[in-house]
Structure 1
């Protein structure tokens, strides 16, 4: 709490109202402009009221004894937690990018900037550097999260969808687009909605017909 009153308190109130209203107005969240309500963009300091740079400075230094410098209050950002499987995933991406870099180098080597493999090598080199930075940042994160790999990262819905997409990619050439799409939609709708097979079949066939 701040022990202020009179013109100084009114100045702080008007300043807060102006900053809040114009911030929302400039961001596009307000239907009307603050000018429609007589709110000025800048609030002039009234005569006899000392200019204030921030309301927190008075609170922080109100109880500081004379002769001592007030301590600056800093807000520490919470350290992000490393999610389950995040480090192995980033490590796998780094290894895959190294393999892509090796493959790009095998095209024509790095004999000249105009060679066939120059552009692929440059792109894959950037991928290696960025994936290494991501892995380093992930390893620096703190541990102790309450999330689990089974429930938060790879739940049953994600695993089932991934397996069905892979199965459809394999069966697409043998069965064709229409049968594969019907089977995919039938199994996924049944798995996610738990409705009857007849309902899932009707929705699957109707969706494919509409497409």
Structure 2
């Protein structure tokens, strides 16, 4: 597994805006989508391309196009907040969905929904969730994707901690991880510190 922290001034600036407690849901969502777009460049750095013949206004020439279907899998519900930004740059991507919630006592993920796409076994699969905390939800979502036949999987998050990274490395060493920040610790409630709070609540304004 490769672990990649994507550090860029634009990402750092937008992430700082998102961390602020006074940031509105509208601004939180907009910055999250914009960070998702900025991260796409690194996430897709090794995606295969094929040569094709094209006509420009001047002459026939050679060009290149992505040579593999792309599937995004947001972990509902917070993962939906990053999906739009990624899809803006990869508009042909299909969207699968995995619904998980965390048992607040055991901190273990509980599945309540899953819907796959066609040909996921032949696709470049991106599992998306803003937070990689204990790693339980991320690991479970990847497990589900693999049960559907997915082989080329990457996990993309906004904020992570070492505990979650270590769990993915143990349980899914074949999955590369991309994040915008590696934060110091988890608190006793399983929240990332300093983090940015409950991403789902802040995206959808439910608290």
TM-based fold match above 0.5 = no
Which one has a larger percent helix, Structure 1 or Structure 2? 1
Q: Which of the five TM-score ranges fits, normalised by the shorter chain?
A: under 0.3
Larger Rg: 1
